[in-house]
Structure 1
Amino acid sequence: MTDNAISKLESLPNEILLETLQLENSHNLILTWYNLNTRLNSLIEQLHSIDLSSISYAYFLSYCSLLINRQHQVSSLKLSNVDSSEQISLFLSKFPLQNFHHLRSLSLIEVKQVEINEVILNLPSLNHLLYLLIDCHTTYYEEVLLNDITSTSLRSLTLKSTNAIHYNWSNVGRLCPNLESLNVNFFIYVDQLVQLLSSVPNSLKKLSIALRGDNNYSNIKPFNDLSLLNINTKIENLYISLGPDVSFSDFKLLIKQFKHLKKLSTEMSLPWNIRNTESSLNGYEWVQIISEHLPNLHTFSLRVETYKEHWNDQVSHSFNTDFWVKHRW
């Protein structure tokens, strides 16, 4: 770097330098910027967003040293066990979560069961937390038991897992009364969805779920329950991925519960022996659903995995009527 370049860099005001440093990941901050001079060190120590998700163990320890006595300044924190299986536990042992008084966003990647329990236990002390992401670490045989998540400040909750997560969905609205967005990135059964829809707060506007049709451990007849409950959620944005055991007839019963939808994104797989009159490949069926039950819908997307022989001129024409041309979907 030339003297002229150094001069130009150091002539920038602190506000611009802070914005520039914030764009760097934690690895580059330590490797490239830290210890160049006292001013840059001071600015790095003022950063409010901390991302330790892709960083070696040595750099992780170096960055931890910068956090001593300044946890209260951090507004966004991202931790991961991907590169070091003990990173999250080590971090929490050094810096108790309740010390992050102004934390607004918390993301945990490949987090273990014992770490999840510790984090959830301390959530009520994070009075400013708005966003929480829990990406569970699981093995092929392991299932995650998730304790009740309690946060009156939380606005967005994302749960991810390759395996099943056991959670009491009936308490969501009571324990997270101001939740606006819920992303459930693993399959849940319809009886669990019944619990969820019966308890979500009116503040919930966005829901993303992956749905299975049958739970062998439940005595509930789930889709019949949905038709009887007459649930009236305020959800406006719905993404739903349907497992192959959820029929289109069942889906039609389900979607009637979302009368306030403005945006609907649907993904589903069809069996090889479908009948077009009962499948999601029938555009006329979708026109009826939208016209009769989704009066506020203005954005719609549909992705169907099926065999090529199911797509023919009749199917194509059913999605090319005046209704579809008018809406440009």
Structure 2
Amino acid sequence: MTKTNFERLPNEIILNVFDYIDSIHLLQCFYGLNDRFKNLLYQQFLNYDLNFKNLPQHHVNMICKQHLPFIVDRIVSLQLLISHQTFGQIKVFFSYANQLTRLQSLSITSFRPHDTLIGILDQCELLPNLTYLKVHFYETHQTEQSFQLIVNHIWSLSKLVQCNIHLCIKTKAFFVLPQRTSQSIENLCIHVNELEFSQINRLFEFTPRLKNLSASIDFSFNYGYVPQTISSLLQLNLLVKDGPISVVIEFFRHLPNLRRLSICAKATNIFGYQWEEIISTYLPNLKFFQYHMEHSLISVPDILRFADHLIKPYQRAFWTDKTQSSTQCFVEGNTIYLTSTFGHNINKFSRSFIFSDHHNDHQKWYTGVTCAHDLTSSNIHVSNIEYLTIQFPSYNQFWLTVPTFNRLRALSILSLVDIYHSTIQTLLDHAPNLHILNLYHTAPLPLQKSLFRYRHRSIRELNFKAYNYYFNDNECVQLCHSPLGIQCATLHIKVMNRESIIYLVQNMVSLLSLHVQCEDEKHYSQLISKNKNDELMQLLKNSLPSVRSIERNSNTSSEFTICI
């Protein structure tokens, strides 16, 4: 449809079309065409969803200066990155806090000290329709007191219904319970920070309307736990970190209204007959049950026979009649995996496999597969792979086992070697939706020049972090001008020289975030103890003044994350 034909459409249809276009692209494409579109954008379009997390800084500046005063009362969703470089724009946004009357959803990623986040949460109390809040907070030196302040402020937001909390610090920390009661929060997702099981009752006391909970719970911290019925909980997404089975079962005995349960248990083994008793006796309203369990064995003479013993209870009619699920069993090394689904975090399960429902088509269960060279059974045909790890040369039946790669999103290649360039390029050509390419190398081999020749239209993330190689200056130049480098938005890389970091940021035209380690930073932790001045950090800030943020990784201090 030409521009002229589009302009002939009535305003109602154009506004409907606008709903399907990214709001930032909308302003960039249609503002300035004519007065009619300006009026539609500034006066009639009501649903602005603004994501500034991956937007270049000059675009953020332009929108804040040119458009924000005219659309602020029609922003319904906002995603912000808070860093030293972007703090000025954040202050501009929240100077309009009393005008953000339609804002319903707010997502904050913060690299600033906790008092900055506290100030923003204070402003959130002025937002009359804010019902969804997502907070990702990264602070190396965070204390329990600052953690407590953040949680208390969140629980004080009177209209908040759904909350997603990710508080990342250098050392492991358990979740700090709120000291205030929220009468509005119904959905809570807690990342990174584990809950002590002894805290669970108090969490529901401070969140009495909580219906949906997603969290990691360490059941070994059960001292002082008194069983208490939790009638409000309808949906639970649970990662069992540790603890005795009896305590876990006792917890499920007091969830009478639970309707949906997703559980991952890696250290606590609950067997099929136990699950059947739990569901039949204590969870009468359960309609959906999704599970992943890992049984790591120290000494078992015949692990396949033991795996068959584990899966037999799941072959009973109860599992298909009550939960509408089938169980798959995989053996890798001394670990047995039992799962009803394949998630992103399942790493190795391909060497041996058993299905509880032998009538199921094997194809539909494979959404993630690693160690593809182990999939040697001629009767397995996999067409729904989304995540694949492969080493070349692959076994002869690989292309028969995996007839299509249309759903492949992430590809990991072990030991990239130039002689397999054409085979790898063929694989890339058959994966139209591939987004992430990971390269692994354990041996200290030279950089394979074929890396700079690969082509693919949709790859946007390159991860060379596990490639066991530091790129020199010339190789960084080649990467910038290679087909994959030109379109790369996210790059994980190791470089020999700090000047290469600056070059990559300035010359990778599509780059939005860079995760980089420098060869002379490998001993950063020892150097910084002798010299409090972070020389490389200061060099990067002075050389890259326009980037949005430069931070050291809280878990790997020699790695920098640069948001462009």
Q: Under a length normalisation based on structure 2, what TM-score does the superposition of the two structures give?
A: 0.49
Does residue 205 of structure 2 align to residue 191 of structure 1?
Answer: no
- The equivalent position to 1:169 in structure 2, one of 178, 189, 206, is 178
Does residue 299 of structure 2 align to residue 300 of structure 1?
Answer: no
- 1:231–1:223 CA distance, 2 compared to 1 (3 A): farther
What does 1:77-88 correspond to in 2, within 5 Å? 77-81=78-82, 86-87=85-86
Question: 1:230 corresponds to which residue?
Answer: 228
Does residue 320 of structure 2 align to residue 321 of structure 1?
Answer: no
- 1:198–1:147 CA distance, 2 compared to 1 (3 A): closer
Alpha-carbon distance between aligned partners in 1 of 2:19 and 2:267, rounded to the nearest angstrom: 46
2:7 is paired with a residue of what secondary structure?
A: helix
Deviation, 1:237, is 0.7
Gaps (5+ residues) in structure 1? 215-221, 272-278
1:75 is paired with a residue of what secondary structure?
A: strand
Deviation, 1:209, is 0.9
- The equivalent position to 2:254 in structure 1, one of 257, 260, 265, is 257
Is the CA contact 1:22–1:47 (under 8 Å) kept in the aligned structure 2? no
Deviation, 1:26, is 4.8
Question: 1:12 corresponds to which residue?
Answer: 9
Question: 2:90 corresponds to which residue?
Answer: 91
Deviation, 1:30, is 4.5
Deviation, 1:147, is 4.3
Question: 2:115 corresponds to which residue?
Answer: 114
Does residue 60 of structure 2 align to residue 53 of structure 1?
Answer: no
What does 1:25-174 correspond to in 2, within 5 Å? 25-45=22-42, 46-49=45-48, 50-64=50-64, 65-81=66-82, 86-87=85-86, 90-96=89-95, 97-110=97-110, 112=112, 113-139=114-140, 142=142, 145=147, 146-148=150-152, 149=154, 150-163=156-169, 164=173, 167-171=176-180, 174=181
Deviation, 1:27, is 4.7
Deviation, 1:257, is 2.7
Alpha-carbon distance between aligned partners in 2 of 1:10 and 1:289, rounded to the nearest angstrom: 61
Q: Which has the higher helix share?
A: 1
The letter of the residue matching 1:289 is: I
What is the CA RMSD across the aligned residues, in angstroms? 2.6
Alpha-carbon distance between aligned partners in 2 of 1:8 and 1:213, rounded to the nearest angstrom: 63
Question: 2:360 corresponds to which residue?
Answer: none
Q: If you compute each CA radius of gyration, which structure gives the higher value, 1 or 2?
A: 2
C-alpha deviations, 1:274-319, integer Å up to 9, x for none? xxxxx22x10010111112111111101111344848611111111
Larger mean Cα displacement after TM superposition, 234-243 or 262-271 = 262-271
1:154 is paired with a residue of what secondary structure?
A: coil
Alpha-carbon distance between aligned partners in 1 of 2:279 and 2:10, rounded to the nearest angstrom: 54
Deviation, 1:111, is 5.3
Identity of aligned residues (%): 21
Alpha-carbon distance between aligned partners in 1 of 2:174 and 2:55, rounded to the nearest angstrom: 28
Is the CA contact 1:268–1:303 (under 8 Å) kept in the aligned structure 2? yes
Question: 2:343 corresponds to which residue?
Answer: none
Larger mean Cα displacement after TM superposition, 35-44 or 100-109 = 35-44
Gaps (5+ residues) in structure 2? 298-302, 326-564
Question: 2:217 corresponds to which residue?
Answer: 211
C-alpha deviations, 1:154-179, integer Å up to 9, x for none? 111111234447533353xx2x2122
The letter of the residue matching 1:191 is: S
Is the CA contact 1:170–1:195 (under 8 Å) kept in the aligned structure 2? no
Alpha-carbon distance between aligned partners in 2 of 1:90 and 1:116, rounded to the nearest angstrom: 14
The letter of the residue matching 2:272 is: G
Is the CA contact 1:48–1:74 (under 8 Å) kept in the aligned structure 2? yes
More relative contact order, 1 or 2 (CA 8 Å, 6+ apart): 1
Alpha-carbon distance between aligned partners in 2 of 1:168 and 1:119, rounded to the nearest angstrom: 20
C-alpha deviations, 1:25-83, integer Å up to 9, x for none? 355334433323332333333453222222111110111120115422222222124xx
